[in-house]
Amino acid sequence: MIKAKVVGAGGYGGVGITELLLKHPEVEIGCLVSLSDTGRKMSDVFPHLRGFCDDVIVSPDDPKTKEHYDVVFYSTPDGVGMQSAEEEIARGAKVIDYSGDFRFGTVERYAEYANFIGLDPVHKSPALLTETVYGLPELHDVTDSQTIVGNPGCFAVSCILGLAPAVEAGIIDTKSIICDCKTGVSGAGKKPNAAFHYPNRYDNMNAYKLAGHQHVVEIEQELGLLGEDDVQITFTAQVVPVCRGIMSCLYASLEGQTGEQLLEVYKEFNKNNPFVRVQDARTPASIADVRGTNYCNLTVDVDERNNRLRVISHIDNLMKGQAGNALQNMNLMFGFDSGIGLASAGQYP
């Protein structure tokens, strides 16, 4: 059995991966770490786990955290994983980090990202950047030789999967891309914030981070690797009064393809991607269709009047946008089928 440690277990990303690991036939949870709720049972913090996960949450300096684990999930903000990932790998663990710490393969690319969002541009574990892979299995090979993966950002997953086939095929103007993205409130995390207090959030929506969202850098990086031209996007994030889910409406100028031709491009690109489902504009689609699942549903369409690509990308921000994708990476890092522990149709309504 694979022994797992979850750092940041008290947040939405931490409980999300805990829920998934409990259902995985090849994994046992060995350690739950958090700065908050230390000394409490996981099931006291999250009562739905009573009888399923009654492990006590420990602090980062607890001796238990120094034991050997086969895989360590960092469900933590930027700057945390880079401080101890090398130590975990030296003890024989494989590392999956949710933050931006390991999404970039060079110190220069990391510095560009850090400067873009106002962080210290000096990486604390620069040697690991040459070993990491951007953890979107639909674009990159994640294999059992991989020791560290940078799990993508939630908006980035929805946008990259929605645009990658068109960029690779060279059929859109990569300077014309518009990403109009809406997310549920859970995307802001568990920590209380006045902006996400119920009276302020209910029956309300707004755009945010117009000066520059942190996921723009990785979207442009990953799409840029697929095509011959640099990619520059116009990205607008909005929060809407739902709990979970992302709907990204993606637009770009086309070179004259029909809807049928575009649909075939997307189906061919994703023929070996089990968690991407491609459909035409006649098929109803909403975030309810992917809630609680690791799927990305892509509605592929052409605005023929304006000769423009229009793709609607739906994901669950806490699953394909976070914990589900992390488990998919873990499966591949240990040589398992990518879908183990992720076979869920979700819930309806």
* 121-146 pLDDT per residue, tens: 999 999 999 999 999 999 999 999 99
Which range marks the domain in which residue 206 is found? 155-317
How confident is the model at residue 89, as a pLDDT?
98
Residue 11 and residue 76 in one domain: yes
Band of pLDDT at residue 320, cut at 50, 70 and 90: very high
How confident is the model at residue 324, as a pLDDT?
98
How confident is the model at residue 255, as a pLDDT?
87
Residue 183 and residue 140 in one domain: no
Judge whether 346 lies within some domain: no
Residue 16 near residue 319, CB atoms below 8 Å:
yes
* Tokens of residue 2, six digits: 């694979």
Residue 116 and residue 183 in one domain: no
How confident is the model at residue 195, as a pLDDT?
80
Residue 204 and residue 307 in one domain: yes
Residue 122 and residue 232 in one domain: no
How confident is the model at residue 201, as a pLDDT?
87
How confident is the model at residue 197, as a pLDDT?
82
How confident is the model at residue 107, as a pLDDT?
97
Cα-only R_g, the chain = 20
% residues pLDDT > 70 (the chain): 100
CATH of the domain at 137: 3.40.50.720
CATH of the domain at 209: 3.30.360.10
* Higher pLDDT, residue 204 or 191: 204
Residue 163 and residue 81 in one domain: no
Judge whether 348 lies within some domain: no
CA distance 76 to 13: 8
Judge whether 280 lies within some domain: yes
* Higher pLDDT, residue 52 or 211: 52
Residue 68 and residue 198 in one domain: no
- Measured CA to CA in angstroms, residue 151 lies from 30, 61, 154, 230 at distances of 21, 25, 9, 23
Q: What is the mean pLDDT of residues 228-257?
A: 95
Q: What is the mean pLDDT of residues 310-325?
A: 98
Judge whether 74 lies within some domain: yes
Residue 160 and residue 281 in one domain: yes
Judge whether 342 lies within some domain: no
What would the pLDDT profile of 99-128 be if each residue is shown by its tens digit? 999 999 999 999 999 999 999 999 999 999
Band of pLDDT at residue 347, cut at 50, 70 and 90: confident
Judge whether 281 lies within some domain: yes
Residue 105 and residue 169 in one domain: no
Residue 41 and residue 123 in one domain: yes
How confident is the model at residue 192, as a pLDDT?
79
How confident is the model at residue 194, as a pLDDT?
82
Judge whether 116 lies within some domain: yes
Looking at the structure of the chain, the number of domains it has is 2
Residue 60 and residue 110 in one domain: yes
Is 181 a catalytic site residue?
no
Judge whether 163 lies within some domain: yes
How confident is the model at residue 191, as a pLDDT?
82
Catalytic residue among 31, 53, 154, 296: 154
% residues pLDDT > 90 (the chain): 90
Residue 160 and residue 307 in one domain: yes
